[in-house]
Structure 1
Amino acid sequence: MVGVSSRFQLPEDDSGFSLAWMLIFVSSKGITVDRSAHRETMTERVMKPIRCFSRLISPQRSAAILKGLGLPVIKGSQHNRIMFSGMKTHWTCLLFGSAATALGAGPDWPQFMGPHRNGSTQAQAIQNDWRNHPPQKLWSLEMGSGFSGPVIKDNHVFLYHRLGRNLHLDCITLDTGKQVWQSTHATQYRDRFGFDDGPRATPAIDGDRIFLMDANGWMRAFHRSDGHLLWEVNPEKHGQVDQGFFGKAPSPLVYGDTVIYIMGGSPESGIVALGVHDGSLIWKTLSEEADYASPVLQQTNGQWWIWAWMRDHVHHIHAATGKVHQSIRWRSSMNAAVNAATPLLLPEGVFLSASYGTGALLLGQSDGNWSPLWSGDQQMSNHYAHCVYHQGYLYGFHGRQEQSPELRCIEAKSGKVAWTQANLGAGSLILADDRLLLMMESGEWIMAEATPDRWSELGRRQILPSGVRASPALAHGIWVAKSPDRLVAYQLGHPLP
């Protein structure tokens, strides 16, 4: 059973009126406000005008109308907007609130590794001078266990975590840290090695839905606006599934009307594609055990393909049908080893890297098939954290997490090492424009230039206690990161004027 604690209601003050919307009906009898329509936070699918026209009212006039309606107005804001769309004698008005004052530019962070599934984001208007203008803490919340990272859509953060015997999916306002709703369901997962019992996979958001997989492999979809359960699928429905070393960790991937899960089942249920609307099976393929890398999408020659790195092979799979085009073996000779860093799609090819003596591999395509361009264990050996790519160079952690890995920069096309920086420890990386943002396992947050010339640190701060393993998120100029029991948000970019 799934329970929902919902506090998603029409805001009564300035703090809640950010990117939410209501439908207002205007007729000859006057203006009425339909509060029941306040259920979505998305706007991109609302406006489909047919035989209607639109006009934009100035912020000043919008503020006056809002005040006259008894609705909240952000003082001094230039972002209050009312847009009218009319048909015959009735008018439908789509009312947008102000972007919250802490929100900056840049895209959302709706899935593991960000908007492009490569650990990179753009246009975040980052403040580079941390000495004179350090990042400002917006909020800090106690959370449960788990390695699942935060995801961000509009002005909301979503986090999947565990408290006691229950898993919680929380929806939190990005700029204030206020909880909007929480959805709860039971779990019986126990880590066989005594590690953290929380979820590993990071959620994926698509439209009004948010998709999850817990450490036991249960696959679920929730409604993004209020947290109610849309569907859930027991992995045993599609095959026999083993827990693996540390539970199920690959994050879900949305392709069209399907959501892809690396389940690691057999027979022929290593990867399953489920319908986003009802969780029905679209296709399933392979009988290989899952590992810890997440799948990625690639478009070549007008078709979409999935790269899925599993226990023994990396597979190239047709996204629409599940047909396996090619399987390439790339793993350690050790049994007690994992493939955990997600493949990166580069202009130079497809990049893979693992530890345990495996090393890096760059695949290139020729005559429709993929083959190695270079490989080696001395160039880049990722353990859990993936690399990021910028202008022909890869930046990542080289070496085992428990053995104090180095941060390294290598040329993507050749694997040539440009520089190495020791004594940083393990962590995760995000590339924001031309800046490297490192969330260290120690709880330190470091910013550096993304340049092949040298290691060039720009600033650092201690923002969390040690033990940070979850991937961070960056959206709208706000950095969100999780430790084993805490979630924090910092203003990194310049707020919108």
Structure 2
Amino acid sequence: MKDPKPTRLGLLYTILLLSTIALAYIWIPSTGHRQMNVMLTISTVVVAILLIFIWAMAFARLPGGIRLRIAGAFMLFLILAFSTLRIRGVTGDLVPILAWRWSEQSFGTVLFSSEVSGVQTQDFPQFLGPYRNGTIGDKELISWESNPPKEVWRIKVGEGWAAFAVSGQIAVTQEQRGEEECVVAYDLATGEQLWVHADEARYASALGGVGPRATPTIDEDRVYTIGSTGLFNCLDVETGSLHWSKNILDENSGRQPEWGLAGSPLILDKLVIVSPGGSADRSLVAYSKDTGAFVWGGGTVRAGYSSPSLHTVAGREQILIFNGGSVAGHDPADGKVLWEVDWPLTYGCVAQPLPISENRVFVSTGYGIGCKLFEISTENGQFRADLLYETPRLKAKFANFVHYEGYIYGLDDGVFVCLDPETGQRKWKRGRYGHGQILRVGGKLIVQTEDGEIVLVELNPEKLIELAKLPALNSKTWNNPILAGSLMIVRNDREAVCYEVGLEDDAI
């Protein structure tokens, strides 16, 4: 009887060696493009597994019975995986998130509710807070070690990446419920659903997820919302009844951004301002907030994913907007573009432009680009924007950044960083929180990590100081946290939870 031929391991070793070299080539150079590295890593691993399977079947000289068992196990694994699992999205680094195919979502169900007394309430009426800068400067959080946050309520919500806006005792957000895009109001104290306005619309993509992503804006007795497909609604904040509605993409010849419209409406006196990204002076558009009538338009650049914000720069009030491929300042009176600079990226522009002095604007984005500091000035009555520096040391993909006591704090491709904005030099970089969100409260920062945990950080230019951690949510969270008085609300595409936190008044 002939001895079986020895297994040919040389080809296997070659596959493993080449795969290792490929992974080292992907990660060792400092490319600054983490998402591309992740995609290349996944591709390398998949190709390596397929090559090893082919080696085992055709080149390893394994006995027929063993090859049959390997093939059967491989096919069984694929059948079980595809029949029981689904990809329900990706992380900010483009790592697939798996879920059971039979998992179901319910909406508006209160999972937990408790009574609270003596709660301080304060409006949080729009995206990133009262001044649209991710800062609440007149409050200070009491230590979470001695006075831990108390859970007030927890509810099931529909999919989407919008945050809450709060006015009085009403908290409003946007959700996807089946084939309907919904604006939903909840009781701030109990989490009970008050009303729902639903439109037949749905946005979904494997990478961007499902549902609306723009945070509502509340002004007096009305709430204004932008859906992912361009639906622009004005609703009664108490009842949800519709005052007027339009589609800003259709009306302004705009094109839906790849990941859906994400910019929140901006209220300015009698106007409501949105970013449809239309051509022919319809990049930024103002409507009458009472009637929905068109008032003015300006710019010709496609929409990005940031929201218009009002600031005084170079001695003049202007609306700043991060478009798809440019950063611009508009005249609030007529929408005219005062200044505009090209940005080396036509997608993924999410973080807000942030003025850090009377005439300097700090801008950042992810995907390997980084940040730039512009000086805005006037010459012969014309505005100009001059680049002072650019650096890859802060790549703000999703999260906005904050300016506090002369330093910039933000998430550099998911890692917390402190930057000196005068020089662009990094003070420190520590704490991998993923592609979450941040909110400054006095001298502390609420960090909503991408995996759902909340980290309370002391803002210190010398080092990272973590004060406390709170296991608020347990799945991917891209939504912004809010603080309405002493009530902190966080949510993702599955749950929302409200905590009571201790506050000191008259802080910074």
Q: Name the TM-score, length of structure 2 as normaliser.
A: 0.72
> What is residue 355 of structure 1 aligned with on the other side?
366
> How big is each residue's C-alpha offset from its partner over 1:23-60, in whole Å with a ceiling of 9 and x where there is no partner?
xxxxxxxxxxxxxxxxxxxxxxxxxxxxxxxxxxxxxx
The one-letter amino acid paired with 1:121 is I
Select which of 130, 137, 142 maps to 1:127: 142
| Pair 1:244-2:257 in alignment | yes
8 Å CA contact 2:299, 2:336 repeated in 1? no
> What is residue 191 of structure 2 aligned with on the other side?
177
1:358 deviates by: 2.0
> What is residue 61 of structure 2 aligned with on the other side?
none
Q: Which runs of 5+ in 2 are unaligned?
A: 1-114
The one-letter amino acid paired with 2:128 is M
Select which of 382, 389, 398 maps to 2:396: 382
8 Å CA contact 1:357, 1:377 repeated in 2? no
In 1, the alpha carbon distance for the partners of 2:303 and 2:249 equals: 14
In 2, the alpha carbon distance for the partners of 1:245 and 1:352 equals: 21
Q: 1:284 to 1:442 in 2, by over 3 A?
A: same
In 1, the alpha carbon distance for the partners of 2:166 and 2:299 equals: 32
> What is residue 215 of structure 2 aligned with on the other side?
202
1:301 deviates by: 7.2
Select which of 295, 319, 342 maps to 1:282: 295
1:165 deviates by: 1.2
Between 1:196-205 and 1:139-148, the stretch displaced more is 196-205
Q: 1:135 to 1:272 in 2, by over 3 A?
A: same
In 1, the alpha carbon distance for the partners of 2:398 and 2:208 equals: 15
In 2, the alpha carbon distance for the partners of 1:363 and 1:202 equals: 28
In 1, the alpha carbon distance for the partners of 2:305 and 2:356 equals: 21
> How big is each residue's C-alpha offset from its partner over 1:151-189, in whole Å with a ceiling of 9 and x where there is no partner?
1122221111111011222222222222222222221x3
Q: Which runs of 5+ in 1 are unaligned?
A: 1-14, 16-99, 400-404
The one-letter amino acid paired with 1:462 is P
1:287 deviates by: 2.5
The one-letter amino acid paired with 1:445 is I
In 2, the alpha carbon distance for the partners of 1:124 and 1:179 equals: 29
Select which of 444, 461, 469 maps to 2:453: 444
8 Å CA contact 1:118, 1:345 repeated in 2? no
- The structure carrying a bigger helix percent of its residues is 2
> What is residue 212 of structure 1 aligned with on the other side?
225
Select which of 409, 425, 429 maps to 1:420: 429
How many pairs does the alignment contain?
A: 387
Aligned-partner SS, 2:432:
coil
Aligned-partner SS, 1:226:
coil
> What is residue 341 of structure 1 aligned with on the other side?
351
In 2, the alpha carbon distance for the partners of 1:167 and 1:461 equals: 31
The runs of 4+ residues in structure 1 deviating greater than 4 Å are 300-303
> What is residue 153 of structure 1 aligned with on the other side?
167
> What is residue 477 of structure 1 aligned with on the other side?
486
Select which of 116, 119, 130 maps to 1:115: 130
The one-letter amino acid paired with 1:343 is P
In 2, the alpha carbon distance for the partners of 1:195 and 1:357 equals: 19
| Pair 1:265-2:278 in alignment | yes
- Flag the structure with larger Rg: 2
8 Å CA contact 2:162, 2:175 repeated in 1? yes
Select which of 308, 329, 332 maps to 1:316: 329
Aligned-partner SS, 2:158:
coil
1:215 deviates by: 0.4
Aligned-partner SS, 2:341:
strand
> What is residue 463 of structure 1 aligned with on the other side?
472
The one-letter amino acid paired with 2:224 is F
Q: Name the TM-score, length of structure 1 as normaliser.
A: 0.74
The one-letter amino acid paired with 2:353 is P
In 2, the alpha carbon distance for the partners of 1:290 and 1:276 equals: 21
Identity %: 27
In 1, the alpha carbon distance for the partners of 2:178 and 2:293 equals: 30
Aligned-partner SS, 2:174:
strand
Aligned-partner SS, 2:451:
coil
In 2, the alpha carbon distance for the partners of 1:383 and 1:114 equals: 20
> What is residue 103 of structure 1 aligned with on the other side?
119
Select which of 269, 272, 275 maps to 1:256: 269
The one-letter amino acid paired with 1:488 is V
The one-letter amino acid paired with 2:183 is L
Between 1:479-488 and 1:409-418, the stretch displaced more is 409-418
In 2, the alpha carbon distance for the partners of 1:177 and 1:422 equals: 32
Q: 1:270 to 1:385 in 2, by over 3 A?
A: same
